Amino acid sequence: MADRSRCPNCKEPVSPFAAGCAVCGADLDTRRWDAGPGLGNRVGSWFSSLGSGPSLPYGMGWVLVLFFFLFGGAILSFLFGWV
Ligand SMILES: [Zn+2]
């Protein structure tokens, strides 16, 4: 797959949202984004690949536990330290 962050004409780095190359002026139309699903679709399919049912996907429990340890202390200190 072609590198979307570079101009297909001069290979200079370009903004993914630029309408044209700033160096050589080549058109950078949105067709270059049609090669695959969007980020949202890929993230969604990644999450759906973690589990196959409506219940908590495998692994997500540990993610929640990790989030609790990362942010639970901060939340508690915020509640009891500021109120
Ligand atoms: Zn260019």
Task: Write down the pLDDT at residue 56.
Answer: 60
* Domain carrying residue 74: 37-82
Question: CA geometry: angle at 1 spanning 50 and 39, to 5°?
Answer: 40
32 Cα: distance to centroid of ligand 1 (angstroms)? 14
- Write down the pLDDT at residue 10: 93
Task: Confirm if 20 and 54 have CB atoms less than 8 A apart.
Answer: no
- Asked if residue 20 belongs to a domain, the reply is no
Residue 2, pLDDT score: 61
Does 27 fall in a domain? no
User: Is 57 part of a structural domain of the chain?
Assistant: yes
Output the pTM of the full model. 0.33
Distance (Å) from CA 26 to ligand 1 centroid: 5
Q: Based on the structure, what is the number of domains in the chain? A: 1
Predicted pLDDT of residue 24: 93
| 12 CA distance to ligand 1 middle (Å) | 6
Measured in Å, residue 65 CA sits from the centre of ligand 1 at 47
What are the mean pLDDT values of the chain's consecutive 10-residue runs (83 residues total)?
A: 78 85 83 60 70 62 80 80 70
